Chain A
């Protein structure tokens, strides 16, 4: 089983619908992140959380919200999906103890299509 699990893996929805992408991890890491990947733009940070009570905006947080329900769970919501939110979304974790290493452990991705 994957250490970082994302659900759903694929989702097609319509403009205006509310969508939730879920992430759970068994690595015991305290830090969790949501990224989106777009062709030609690489990976961009949406939101991140360093512990259950900590939520921080990344570089492209508009139109998104998150919830850190437990140390192991971090959900990303699109309150009213729009077509330009069509992308591949990745959840990632990191361990505070790594210090400056910055190594992230990624889930397998959730492909979202907004029609």
Chain B
């Protein structure tokens, strides 16, 4: 049972337009959400995050929106650039405990391949 789902395997967008990547989750214990970006032959890199006490977080061209009641978050990229073409992973964090140590346990979505055409 996947607790974090990215239902769109791929998205194609024209340069300069908006890219909207979506993510749904089922676990109410998730209280922190992150987006990672992955280029071919590289590891994922952190992009942007949002706490569950907020509904929006913006960083330059990237904005993440959180709708807790719908258990849905989205990443908006405006304007989209060809260099944004990558796989985007949504991740959700809940408190975990391992041997008495608390940590942010991450669960990842399946990823969405974004292609931005010049």
A interface, CB within 8 angstroms of B: 4, 31, 35, 40-45, 48, 50, 54, 56, 90, 92, 99-109
The B contact surface, by secondary structure, is strand
- Contact indicator B98/A108 (Cβ below 8 Å): no
The answer to the question of B43 belonging to the interface, with a C-beta cut-off of 8 Å to chain A, is: yes
Cβ contacts B20-61/A at 8 Å (1 or 0 each):
000000000001101010000111111001010000000000
| B-side interface size class | 20 to 34
Q: Assess whether B99 is in contact with A54, with CB atoms less than 8 Å apart.
A: yes
Q: Chain B residues in contact with chain A, CB under 8 A?
A: 4, 6, 9, 31-32, 34, 36, 41-46, 49, 51, 89, 91, 93, 98-99, 101, 103-104, 106, 108-111
In contact, A100 and B44 (Cβ under 8 angstroms): no
Measured CA separation A105–B44 after assembly (Å): 8
Determine if A50 and B98 form an interchain contact, defined as CB atoms under 8 angstroms apart.
Answer: yes
A90: chain B residues at CB < 8 Å are: 43-44
Contacts of B109 in A (CB 8 A): 42
